[in-house]
């Protein structure tokens, strides 16, 4: 009986040891899974409240509305007038002055001929300037114009014919007589301009990829806002405003829109964001590429990312300098053609 008790005691001690060892292994496994989950979780912006509520010992503060923190409304951009450099111009002679109300009533319902924008301007009797017809004004002449080319291609015969039909209907309504340029000559001019634009268009994009942990949308937005970016109209897009009010944004920053619209964006994991520059849309004097280069490097440093091209190849700093040198040549060519980057003509042509 004594031997049996000894054996039974040994068995109990052995079972207890196994239980303790199992408990330790389970605790280690839980700790490992927790560490792995935290390591792989998307990075959150500083000051973000963790999932599950406020931090321990931290009082919850209700948000306070501060009107001074609301960004100002964007200034409406004044659309540039017709220009013989990039438009087909058609003068419309009148039998007598026409009111702005009558001109507006005669306007076609759409301002496009195919894929090309067109416009009708009136010569204001008082200001002696061409302008979009306005109520309460009188006009002694009109002119119509359709754009020769844009990023959809050159003006073609079908689009030109549609332009003629719409302008003729307007002219008949205001007792005017349009003088249309010869179609084949204008279409040939459109093709030449489109060929130049196609060879001198530049839309640059860098991809910033996470080297280690992924990023949450809030983390990206916080780091980008520190460099001057503001939220864009489209979810998942931020822009760096230009210095001039109403001008085209200098840079764009985009990421997965579905992540931005998720029920809990903090749990969305982003592995990359894209930084973009539409070269012909931004004035050369703003040094947009230098700002793009510095922004990419700053974000890569702050977010532990690397700058790559569309194929995932890392772009070194010296390669960025080479791209900047090539852009200076492009700027010179656009200037020589009277299509300086950021000018009204360039912005319309490269759109």
Cβ neighbours for 180, distance < 8 A, ≥ 6 positions apart: 90, 164, 167
Q: Tell me: the pLDDT tens digits for 176-225?
A: 999 999 999 999 999 999 999 999 999 999 999 999 999 999 999 999 99
CA distance 320 to 201: 18
CA distance 20 to 342: 73
Three-class SS state of 214: coil
CA distance 315 to 263: 35
Residue 82 φ then ψ, to 5°? -65, 150
Token pair 């849309």 is found at 281
Three-class SS state of 350: coil
Could you tell me the pLDDT band of residue 41, with boundaries at 50, 70 and 90?
A: low
Q: Is the distance from CB of 343 to CB of 350 less than 8 angstroms?
A: no
Q: Is the distance from CB of 347 to CB of 248 less than 8 angstroms?
A: yes
Question: Over 90: is that where the pLDDT of 40 sits?
Answer: no
Token pair 């001109």 is found at 103
Q: Tell me: the pLDDT tens digits for 109-159?
A: 999 999 999 999 999 999 999 999 999 999 999 999 999 999 999 999 999
Q: In what order do the strands lie in the sheet with 272-278?
A: 230-231, 237-240, 251-254, 272-278, 203-210, 305-308
Token pair 């190849």 is found at 313
CA distance 64 to 49: 16
CA distance 324 to 322: 5
**Domains annotated on the chain, with CATH:** 87-198 (3.30.1400.10), 201-349 (3.30.1400.10)
What is the pTM assigned to this prediction? Answer: 0.77
According to DSSP, residue 53 is labeled: S
């Amino acid at each position: 009986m004594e031997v049996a008790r000894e054996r039974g005691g040994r068995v109990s001690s052995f079972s207890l040891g196994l239980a303790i060892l199992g408990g330790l292994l389970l605790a280690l496994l839980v700790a490992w899974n927790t560490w792995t989950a935290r390591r792989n979780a998307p990075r959150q912006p500083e000051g973000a409240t963790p999932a599950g509520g406020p931090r321990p010992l931290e009082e919850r503060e209700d948000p306070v509305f501060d009107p001074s923190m609301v960004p100002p409304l964007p200034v409406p951009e004044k659309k540039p007038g017709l220009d013989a450099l990039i438009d087909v111009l058609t003068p419309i002679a009148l039998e007598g002055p026409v009111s702005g109300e009558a001109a507006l009533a005669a306007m076609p319902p759409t301002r496009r001929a195919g894929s090309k924008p067109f416009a009708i301007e009136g010569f204001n009797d008082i200001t002696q300037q061409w302008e979009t017809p306005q109520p309460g004004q009188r006009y002694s002449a009109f002119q119509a114009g359709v754009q020769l080319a844009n990023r959809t291609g050159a003006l073609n015969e079908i689009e030109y014919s549609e332009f003629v039909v719409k302008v003729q209907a307007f002219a008949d309504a205001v007792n005017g007589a349009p003088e249309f340029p010869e179609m084949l000559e204008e279409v040939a001019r459109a093709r030449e301009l489109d060929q130049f634009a196609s060879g001198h268009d530049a839309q640059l994009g860098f991809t910033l990829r996470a080297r280690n942990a992924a990023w949450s949308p809030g983390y990206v937005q916080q780091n980008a806002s520190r460099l001057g970016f503001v939220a864009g109209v489209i979810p998942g897009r931020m822009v760096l405003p230009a210095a001039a009010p109403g001008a085209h944004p200098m840079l764009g920053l985009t990421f997965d829109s579905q992540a931005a619209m998720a029920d809990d964006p903090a749990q969305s994991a982003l592995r990359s964001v894209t930084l973009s520059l539409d070269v012909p849309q931004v004035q050369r004097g703003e040094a947009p590429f230098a700002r793009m280069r510095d922004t990419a490097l700053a974000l890569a440093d702050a977010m532990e990312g690397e700058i790559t091209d569309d194929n995932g190849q890392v772009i070194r700093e010296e390669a960025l300098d080479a791209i900047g040198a090539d852009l200076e040549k492009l700027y010179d060519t656009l200037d020589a053609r009277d299509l300086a980057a950021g000018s009204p003509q360039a912005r319309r042509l490269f759109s």
